[in-house]
Amino acid sequence: METWTKKSLAILIGILLIYAMCFLTYTLHEEKQFKHLENDLKRVYFTGTYQSNSDLIPKEFREGTVIDANQSSKVTLTGRFDQEIKESQSLLFRIPNIKVKIFKDENQIYSFGEPGTYPGFSKSPGNTWDIFISPGIKTSDEIRIVLENIYPNNVKTVYNLFIEQILSGDSGVLFHAIFPRVGLSVFLGGGIFLLGCLLLIILIFLRVMKTPFSRRPFYFAFLAIISGLWFFFDFKIISLIIPYNIFNNILSMICLSMVMPLFCMYILEFLSGKTRIPLIISVYIQIGFTVCYLICQGLGIYDGYDLLSPLLVIMGISIVIVFGCLVYETVFYKNSEAKFLLLVSSVLLLCGFDVVNYFTNYTPTYFMTKISYGLFMLIQFFYMLRCIQININDIKNARILEVELAQNRIAIAISQIQPHFLYNSLTAIKQLCVIDPVRAEQAVGEFAGFLRENLDSLTSSSLISFHKELNHIKNYLALEQLRFGSRLKVHYNIQTYDFELPSLTIQPIVENAVRYGVTKKAEGGTITISTKNGEDTIIITVSDDGAGFDMYHRKEDGRSHIGIENVRNRLQAQCNGDLTIKSELGKGTVVTILIHKR
């Protein structure tokens, strides 16, 4: 699994590098051809007068004039083109969601956006480039252009966007001329979309391989796919790539309305407790808005641009909620992941400049949004890859640990039920049969209980109750006391029984206290087993006043000494527990086990 992960990451990075190199090569080529293309693509200037339906007197219009009219006004321009447009020559019009009519000497020669020329559920025929085949226009012909805004909330500059971008030439030439200028959106959107798709493919493959994952990378993959599509749909060029204007409008609006809910759902995976509540409410509101938009669009009640302003308001409020939740989680819960996300997300505040541009009726370029969001997505993408790699490594380590646990359980049991132990125990029972038959009968029962508990522990992979572990320990110590008599004393200080722990956790520690502690002293000693409640943990202590050992000198006696290390690994893996040892030569050993209550 780890090898596959490294290979997949290498392939992914290779694809991205190839993609970047191809784009840079293409950009260099286009810049070299740019002057040639501009010679084939000429701007057609219009001079004359313009008048809105609220003006009483026409105003002069020439190159550089800014049309001063309300969004709800209809504007009529009367005048002439500065050059002759030959018959069958193509004119290219930039139409930003407006209706256009062009008259030559009072005869209509062009129309765009008239009802019946596009599906009725959309108010606008699109934000697009359109091609007009000229019937032949001379510089002496009087031209009248009628422009009508479709959306009241459209920017004021839509009329100037149209009149300043009347071009003669081919649409293919236009694409090559525009792409170097607006290629950032296409490149950034395509890159984010590609990263999202590749991440989703990796996650699906790992899920097929039955590798468990949290929902974080899935939410991020869908967020990358949706936001990448939205960036890709730059209306300065998209209609030259996908010539379906209403489809482009609706898909762009759907993507924009889904970016923030997916972003909030991704953020939710880093939050806990009550901090999640306001963000969950925000997600439901945003999803509800998207559903309402689709219904209204389908019925022809409202269009995407009609609902753009309230959508931006909802998105702005959601951003404030996101930052508020991340700050709260960082300050009050000391959540390091939330702190990291807060720092990375701070780059998204630059998007506010573009939102201000929209509401102040300037033409938004979304430049700051593209740069800040692209940086955020790139950082989060590599963060997700890192999380996936850590998750895979954890799973791999867990599987290795499971195998080791099974092997260690067998090794512990084999080391405990050694031939000399069985021989000594049975010899002691045999002697008791002669001098004390009643006690001998009791010893047989304790010996049988010890064997039974060991066999049960071999087959148990889950946590067991402390009661069961304690009974096992008592059976074991009773047998050892048969051997060592008064040299082995046991004291119990059990203050709490209400907890669980991995099987064979305390018994190996007690066995070490008997074998290497108490019985190594001629006069013997006492083993004390205690449990008590801590603030957040259960504290288990096994201490003895036996021989002790030098903690800084590893004993080389040919034994594997797997018992304590096995206990420590199982405690950490199964119940987030910990084990510490303190010992002093000649004074004894204290082993402390901490088991977290959660």
How confident is residue 412, by pLDDT bands cut at 50, 70 and 90? low
Q: What mean pLDDT value characterizes the chain?
A: 81
For residue 561, pLDDT over 60 is answered with: no
In this prediction, what percent of the chain has a pLDDT beyond 70? 81
Listed range (58-67, 217-226, 398-407, 487-496) with the worst mean pLDDT: 398-407
Listed range (75-79, 298-302, 428-432) with the worst mean pLDDT: 428-432
Listed range (113-122, 221-230, 279-288, 437-446) with the worst mean pLDDT: 437-446
Is pLDDT larger for residue 9 or for residue 583? 583
For residue 28, pLDDT over 70 is answered with: no
Residue with tokens 């190594």: 520
In this prediction, what percent of the chain has a pLDDT beyond 90? 21
- Which helix (DSSP H) or strand (DSSP E) does residue 281 occupy? helix 276-299
For residue 581, pLDDT over 70 is answered with: yes
For residue 559, pLDDT over 50 is answered with: no
Q: Could you tell me the CA-to-CA distances from 258 to 153, 188, 369, 394 in Å, in that order?
A: 21, 18, 16, 33
Listed range (83-87, 142-146, 331-335, 347-351) with the worst mean pLDDT: 347-351
Is pLDDT larger for residue 112 or for residue 399? 112
Round to whole Å and give the CA distance between 367 and 365: 5
Q: What per-residue confidence (pLDDT) applies to 357? A: 61
Most confident of 38-47, 63-72, 84-93, 389-398: 84-93
Round to whole Å and give the CA distance between 84 and 167: 12
For residue 243, pLDDT over 70 is answered with: yes
Report pLDDT digits (tens) over 103-141.
998 899 999 988 888 888 888 888 899 999 999 999 999
Q: What is the mean pLDDT of residues 318-339?
A: 88
User: How many alpha carbons lie under 13 Å from residue 501 in its C-beta half-sphere?
Assistant: 28
Global pTM reads 0.61
For residue 36, pLDDT over 50 is answered with: no
- Is 42-169 assigned to CATH 3.30.420? no
Q: What per-residue confidence (pLDDT) applies to 338? A: 87
DSSP secondary structure letters along 439-467: HHHHHHHHHHHHHHHHHHHHH--SEEEHH
Q: Could you tell me the CA-to-CA distances from 292 to 250, 254, 263, 416 in Å, in that order?
A: 14, 11, 20, 70
For residue 263, pLDDT over 50 is answered with: yes
- In sequence order, what are the beta bridge partners of 75? 52, 147
How confident is residue 557, by pLDDT bands cut at 50, 70 and 90? low
Composition of the chain by helix, strand, coil, percent to 5: 55, 15, 25
The CATH label, of 3.30.565.10, 3.40.190.10, 1.10.3720.10, 3.40.50.1980, for the domain at 419-552+562-596 is 3.30.565.10
Burial 193-228 (b: 16+ CB within 10 A, else e): bbbbebbbebbeebeeeeeeeeebbbbbbbbbbbbb
For residue 466, pLDDT over 80 is answered with: yes
Listed range (107-116, 394-403, 513-522) with the worst mean pLDDT: 394-403
How confident is residue 564, by pLDDT bands cut at 50, 70 and 90? confident
Q: What does the H/E/C string look like for 21-38? A: HHHHHHHHHHHHHHHHHH
Residue 549's CB is within 10 A of a number of other CB atoms, namely 20
**Chain region(s) in the chain for CATH 2.60.120:** 42-169
Among candidate residues 531, 535, 543, the one with its CA nearest the CA of residue 497 = 531
Report pLDDT digits (tens) over 134-162.
999 999 999 999 998 888 766 667 888 89
Question: 3-state class of 285 per DSSP?
Answer: helix
Is pLDDT larger for residue 72 or for residue 161? 161
For residue 440, pLDDT over 60 is answered with: yes
DSSP-derived letter for residue 572 is H
Residues whose CB falls within 8 Å of the CB of residue 157, separated by 6 or more in sequence, listed in order: 66, 361, 362, 363
DSSP-derived letter for residue 151 is -
Report pLDDT digits (tens) over 83-94.
999 998 999 999
Q: What is the mean pLDDT of residues 554-576?
A: 68
CATH architecture of the domain 179-392 equals Up-down Bundle (1.20)
